[in-house]
Structure 1
């Protein structure tokens, strides 16, 4: 049976970078909804939970190191509710896309995942580029707008429109994301 993967992108953020304050404001309302979605996914046999997080240039950093760094950062309250459980896949990344330089595609194929449910930050950067990479790898894509955070609201909205129009992504509220087992095969027609 085809599976869905809930991919949580870059939520282990210490918020010690340019635009951090602006991003924090966008992340605040996302955290409770994302935590709830993660909780629902963990109770489903047909959903894989996968975290992909920037290693911030530290190629020796482990999952525990990245969690600890984020929890010691400026906003641990935005990290703790969505910190990765010990029993889920965790992949460090070095660039914007969750696929670039990671084993994400391999993991998804090994688990017979057909639908990638993208969540996290930043909508107009890492989420957009990850959606494009999922699309060109022929995965169906879902993005809940209430579980992604943008630095610039207008660019975040534009990125969601691009994902929907150009990548056939289903842009659906988080409460509807796991209502069906998987999206039907995507249409290449525009």
Structure 2
């Protein structure tokens, strides 16, 4: 099995943005799947990479982003999926996890060939990230029960597009396996 990295997209969120209240119920539903994926990836010592918006704060780093999210409107949505001391962190400014970030380089250094995507928002950041991963020749897996949406119909269409147009495997979190640690 190719080396797999878990990518946690935008889960460190203050929930103060325009669509936050529409997003929150779906995040509650996705949280158990995200937590399960984190547990599996950590147990197998697979890379876990958080890729997160920086809320327009260009002087921020991952500790400040986490702190802001924990002080936001829904810390209960952040605490269960907070990064541990082994997590890697990439800051992004736009929808795709790859757009003008060092993520592709980092994944190359890790030897990752397969990416499991989870987080938010299915019909936005997850969709655009899956496309960018696909065009970079990564195998893409999306845990449908570990992604949150603002618009359920658009999210369902996005999952179909990822499957059909990007050859992404769409499955539940409990159907995903991570490779055991490899000696490098």
TM-score of the alignment, normalized to the shorter chain, above 0.5: yes
Name the SS of the counterpart of 1:60 in structure 2: coil
1:128 partnered with 2:127: yes
Gaps spanning 5+ residues in structure 2: where?
Answer: none
Kindly provide the CA deviation profile for residues 128-159 of structure 1, in whole angstroms up to 9, marking residues without a partner as x: 00000000000000001000001000000000
Gaps spanning 5+ residues in structure 1: where?
Answer: 183-190
Give the 5 Å matches for 1:2-151: 2-45=2-45, 47-151=46-150
Give the Cα separation in 2 of the matches to 1:104 and 1:169: 19
- 2:164 maps to which residue? 165
Does 1 or 2 have the higher relative contact order (CA < 8 Å, sep 6+)? 2
Please state how far the C-alpha of 1:16 moved relative to its aligned partner: 0.2
RMSD, aligned CA: 1.3
Please state how far the C-alpha of 1:2 moved relative to its aligned partner: 2.9
Kindly provide the CA deviation profile for residues 74-124 of structure 1, in whole angstroms up to 9, marking residues without a partner as x: 100000000111221101100000011111100111111110101000000
TM-score, normalising length: structure 2? 0.95
Kindly provide the CA deviation profile for residues 41-95 of structure 1, in whole angstroms up to 9, marking residues without a partner as x: 10103x2110000001111111110001001111000000001112211011000
What number of residue pairs does the alignment pair up?
180
TM-score, normalising length: structure 1? 0.92
Please state how far the C-alpha of 1:181 moved relative to its aligned partner: 3.7
